[in-house]
Amino acid sequence: MHLYQQQTIKIHNSLTGKKEVFVPLNEGHIGMYVCGPTVYSNVHLGNCRTFMSFDMIFRYFKHLGYNVRYVRNITDAGHLVDDAEEGEDKIAKKARLEQLEPMEVVQRYTVDFHNILEKFNFLPPSIEPTATGHIIEQIEIIKEILEKGFAYERNGSVYFDVVKFNESHEYGKLSGRKLEDMIANTRELAAQDDKKSPQDFALWKKAEPQHIMRWPSPWGDGFPGWHLECTAMSTKYLGETFDIHGGGMDLKFPHHECEIAQAEACNGQSPVRYWMHANMLTLNGKKMAKSTGNSILPGEIFSGENNILSKPFSPSMVRFFMMQAHYTSILDISNDALLASEKGFNKLMEAIGSIKSLPEGKATDFNVKEWKQSCYDAMNDDFNTPILIAKLFDAVKHINLIKEGSETITASDKELLIQTMHDFTFDILGLENKQSANVDSEKLSGVVELLIELRKEARENKDFATSDKIRDQLADLGIQLKDGKEGTTYSL
């Protein structure tokens, strides 16, 4: 029997607003699509939180024995600056400003995206398709929607007819918006606008002469609308209906709403069974924004090169901090919050590292099997990582009591505890125990600084033999001393 057959998962479905028992379309198999980054700048921390939430979900499904096809796309064309069918393509704008080819911009920031996610210990998705790699599929979908009567062509652009679609379907059901209210709150269209209605959105945009990123189509040279790429890639790799579609809360409208409309217009059925949305990350109680200076990049947290935090924090510690909040709740990042989280992270890693050396007794003073199931119960309740972490710290309390001699544990329960702590901490939460390496580094630094001080005293006392001996023996160990006006420094 597979582990997933023993556990019942409930997921908060954004489409219904309720927690629902998760039953995949095909027993033992899960298809999951998550909207990936638009690669025109360094990946920001809020995006990392969203992708981290779905990495944790991916890990849990795999742990339970599901065969998961996880598709996370790269948007490398078609995402306009104001997300409202106007302005420049974000990548083309960046390319113009930096005098680069658009694909140079794409390559630079795709590499940055992968590097940051690797530091956070993400598992790679099963498939990572790009928008530009699926232009043909997007054109074919547009043809189908036109044929069904839910789109129209104007001056080389193709628009989705939201009013026509809403006559036989429900546009706005994911976000809870009513089309009538949207129309009532919208200003009149400008005279030069090709749309029938302000709510209509572009499936294909005509490329003006200066537009760099362009492809031939039945309607002339142009580029696909932002919403269309996800419909094309998700249905190509997961089928016309699949299990889970995830993304940030900010994508619910219009992006995901438009995805539903496109898929239903093209295929005649709802594309997704469970919609999942991760919430936003704030910094010091305010929305992150480059314009106000209230922003920080992941790399700046790891290096400590910022004006917001008092010290560097490791990627695994930051991951632990993010896992302490439920993926659907707003999480505020601050120096105090990270420092507090670091203490907990170190305490957890120290306890895990000490389990193997615990003395074995004839009885166990806490029910390890029951505790293990409580960890599963937390994850089964809409992937409740804060509750899971609380359960892990319940075990830490018992580990410390056993170390003190106040409690005992049998050999078999100790093995079960070791395996369970490893499964949930490392395999499911995706944390890494690099604490020992950091501790060793701090100890090495302390020893070298002590030797530098002793060498300085030897030189002041004209004891050059001892001074040279310290320098040369450290060099033999690969530690190079460098004397300067500000004192002596070292490098490895």
The pLDDT value given to residue 82: 52
Q: What is the mean pLDDT of the chain?
A: 92
Q: How many CB atoms lie within 10 A of CB 446?
A: 10
- Of residues 80 and 235, more confidence is placed in 235
Residue that is last in its domain, among 428, 450, 466: 428
Q: Distance (Å, rounded) from C-alpha 233 to C-alpha 216?
A: 19
485/364: higher pLDDT:
364
| Secondary structure of residue 337 in the 3-state scheme | helix
pLDDT of 475: 84
Q: According to the 3-state scheme, what is the secondary structure of 400-427? A: HHHHHCCCCCCHHHHHHHHHHHHHHHHH
- The stretch 399-416 carries a mean pLDDT of 97
Whose tokens are 């490893």? That residue is 422
**Res. 342: pLDDT tops 80:** yes
Give residue 58's pLDDT band: very low, low, confident or very high (50, 70, 90): very high
pLDDT value for 83:
46
pLDDT of 174 reads 97
Residues of the chain with pLDDT > 90, as a percent, come to: 76
Q: Regarding beta strands 67-72 and 29-34, do their DSSP bridges make them parallel or antiparallel, or are they unpaired?
A: parallel
| CATH number, domain containing residue 175 | 3.40.50.620
* Interatomic CA distance for residues 25 and 23, integer angstroms: 7
Q: Which residue has the higher pLDDT, 51 or 480?
A: 51
Mean pLDDT of all residues in 253-273: 97
Q: Are residues 80 and 163 both part of a single domain?
A: yes
- Statement to judge: residues 138 and 47 lie in one domain: yes
Three-state DSSP at 3 gives helix
Q: What is the pLDDT of residues 23-48, one digit of tens each?
A: 999 999 999 999 999 999 999 999 99
Say whether both 184 and 131 belong to one domain.
yes
- Could you tell me if residue 13 is inside a domain? no
Per-residue pLDDT tens digits for 459-475:
889 888 888 888 888 88
Separation between Cα atoms, residue 472 and residue 464, nearest integer Å = 12
pLDDT higher than threshold 80 for residue 192: no
Q: Distance (Å, rounded) from C-alpha 277 to C-alpha 328?
A: 7
DSSP 41-64: SPPPHHHHHHHHHHHHHHHHHHHT
Does residue 11 sit within a domain?
Answer: no
pLDDT digits (tens, 9 = 90+) for 83-115: 445 566 888 888 888 888 889 999 999 999 999
CA distance 43 to 115: 10
Contacts of 374 (CB under 8 A, 6+ apart): 391
Domain contains 2:
no
Give the total number of structural domains in the chain.
3
Percent of the chain predicted with pLDDT > 70? 94
| pLDDT band at residue 206 under the 50/70/90 scheme | very high
pLDDT at 229 over 70: yes
Distance CA 313, CA 324 (A): 16
Tokens of 171: 């546009």
Q: Do 243 and 30 touch, CB atoms closer than 8 A?
A: yes
**pLDDT band, residue 491 (cuts 50/70/90):** low
Per-residue buried b or exposed e for 396-411, using 16+ beta carbons within 10 Å of the residue's own CB? bebbeebeeeebbbee
Residue 476 within a domain: yes
* Residue that is last in its domain, among 390, 406, 428: 428
Task: Measure the CA–CA gap between 248 and 146, rounded to whole angstroms.
Answer: 30
pTM assigned to the model: 0.87
192 in any annotated domain: yes
CB atoms within 10 A of CB 5: 11
Domain residues for the domain of 206 are: 24-278
User: Do 268 and 286 belong together in one domain?
Assistant: no
In a domain, 49, yes or no: yes
Residue (of 44, 60, 63, 5) closest to 276 by Cα position: 60
Q: Specify whether 262 is located in the same domain as 310.
A: no
Mean pLDDT (whole number) for 289-304: 88
What pLDDT, in 10s, does the model give residues 124-152? Answer: 999 999 999 999 999 999 999 999 999 99
Question: Is there a single domain that holds both residue 403 and residue 475?
Answer: no
Paired tokens of 330: 């707003």
Residues with Cβ within 8 Å of 233's Cβ and at least 6 positions away in sequence, in order, are 33, 71, 73, 129, 131, 134, 137
**CATH code, domain with 421:** 1.10.730.10
Q: Give a yes or no: residue 4 inside a domain.
A: no
Q: What gap in Å lies between CA 311 and CA 302, rounded to an integer?
A: 9
Strands 242-248 and 29-34 turn out to be parallel
Where does a domain end: 278, 312, 330? 278
pLDDT band at 6 (very low <50, low <70, confident <90, very high): very high
One-letter-per-residue 3-state SS of 444-479: HHHHHHHHHHHHHHHHHCCCHHHHHHHHHHHHHCCC
Asked if residue 461 and residue 447 are part of one domain, the reply reads yes
